[in-house]
Amino acid sequence: MRFAFERLGQTPTVITSPEQLAGFERAILPGVGHASVAMKRLVDNGWQHAINEYQRPLMGICLGMQLLCESTEEGNVQCLGKIPGHVTALDVGQLTSPHMGWNNLTINKEHALTKGLTPDEQVYFVHSFAHTVNNATLVSGEYGQRFSAIVAKDNYAGMQFHPERSAKIGARLLQNFVDWQL
């Protein structure tokens, strides 16, 4: 993720303590792994309070997006509750799980984070759980079922896919986050 922002002319800083968060104009909550383990680390290390108090743009990527939601079936845990909706296992039917690869997007709502996005673009996904489509959904995807690909509420947002691996459109969407004014 760091290199994707550097390609946009940004100088990202990896912060290691929740006290540092308030000193930044925007933040990314990355995520790879199991939701219950990641959520426990956030709570145990004081990140939940820091994220709750943060008033500037904060973007969750992949698991980071899921942790911003109300709850997840992955480990059956309560999450940060910043974005309405629940994360459930993808119902992929006969398709392979996890959903891994390029997929089209459908714009559900126009937003500063969707600027320049067209239905012809594809982004790169790696996930087996997904946020249900609801009022917070800006962009949806489909893999066995419809799911939220980009969500936002107040200063919190999330992308289920990996923008850093999604070529030019991924860079465009990250730039939208850099430009996002509340």
**How far, in Å, CA of 81 to CA of 85, rounded?**
8
Per-residue pLDDT tens for 9-56? 899 999 999 999 999 999 999 988 899 999 999 999 999 999 999 999
Establish whether 162 is a catalytic residue: yes
Establish whether 62 is a catalytic residue: yes
pTM of the model: 0.96
The catalytically annotated residue of 99, 127, 131, 162 is 162
Establish whether 164 is a catalytic residue: yes
- The band of 139, judged by pLDDT with boundaries at 50, 70 and 90, is very high
The catalytically annotated residue of 74, 99, 127, 164 is 164
Structural domains of the chain in order of their starting residue, each with its CATH number: 1-179 (3.40.50.880)
Provide the pLDDT for residue 65.
Answer: 97
Per-residue pLDDT tens for 43-95? 999 999 999 999 999 999 999 999 999 999 999 999 999 999 999 999 999 99
The catalytically annotated residue of 53, 62, 69, 73 is 62
Provide the pLDDT for residue 3.
Answer: 84
